Amino acid sequence: MGRAAASGLRSLCAADASGSLVEVCAKGGEESRDLELAYIMASEKEDSEKSFKILGIADVFKIPCARESFLYGSLGGVAVGLVHFLATSRVLRSYYVAVGGYALSTTVFWFCCRYDRAKKRFEQRMIQEGIKNMILYEGTQYDRTKEATTTEERRL
């Protein structure tokens, strides 16, 4: 851990008033391991403060794409319900349309976000495997970059 990062952690520890975090920082002194522990404890405390559970079961901040899906779903439901109310002036039916719009837009955005996430993970795995193979075959007879340079030299 760099000196700048350690000083940032020390200032974080000094700024926090909780007893356990201050004790860890005071005991740690200059040791980076204790400072990392203090930083982890502080980040866990922040994460616990940002908890939002649906039906008391699922934490929205820990599930990928959940927060955005519910935000866009609620916005979509309100928009659809409001437009339907302005067009028809029927309150109960506009409520049903708003709930349906919420469910539909949440579901659509959830699946689109999860699809994009899966696609990015697949691309990352392909890139990681390509880099691993490049490192493995570099300088051997199976090196593809070597073949490309020799083919270009033959053309000249």
Residue-wise pLDDT tens digits, 98-155? 999 999 999 999 999 999 999 999 999 999 998 888 888 887 877 777 766 666 666 6
Residue 76 has pLDDT above 60, yes or no: yes
Number of domains in the chain: 2
Is the domain of 101 the same as that of 44? no
Q: Which alpha helices (H) appear in 29-90, and where do they start and end?
A: 32-49, 66-88
- Per-residue DSSP letter, 63: S
Task: Establish if 155 belongs to a structural domain.
Answer: no
Is the domain of 33 the same as that of 73? no
* Domain final position from 31, 49, 67: 49
- Per-residue DSSP letter, 59: E
Q: Can you give the residue range of the structural domain that contains 132? A: 58-137
What sign for the dihedral angle of Cα 38, 44, 48, 51? positive
Instruction: Give helix 19-28 / helix 32-49 axis angle, nearest 10°.
Output: 160
Task: Establish if 75 belongs to a structural domain.
Answer: yes
Task: Establish if 9 belongs to a structural domain.
Answer: yes
- pLDDT category of residue 78 using cuts at 50, 70 and 90: very high
Q: Report, as an integer, the average pLDDT of 62-83.
A: 90
Is the domain of 44 the same as that of 13? yes
pTM: 0.53
Is the domain of 84 the same as that of 120? yes
Q: How many other β-carbons are positioned within 10 Å of the β-carbon of residue 101?
A: 22
- Per-residue DSSP letter, 2: -
Task: Establish if 156 belongs to a structural domain.
Answer: no
Task: Establish if 150 belongs to a structural domain.
Answer: no
Extract the tokens encoding 152. Answer: 């270009």
Measured torsion, CA atoms of residues 117, 80, 102, 67, in degrees rounded to the nearest 10:
50
Residue 67: per-residue pLDDT: 84
Residue 55: per-residue pLDDT: 52
- Per-residue DSSP letter, 1: -
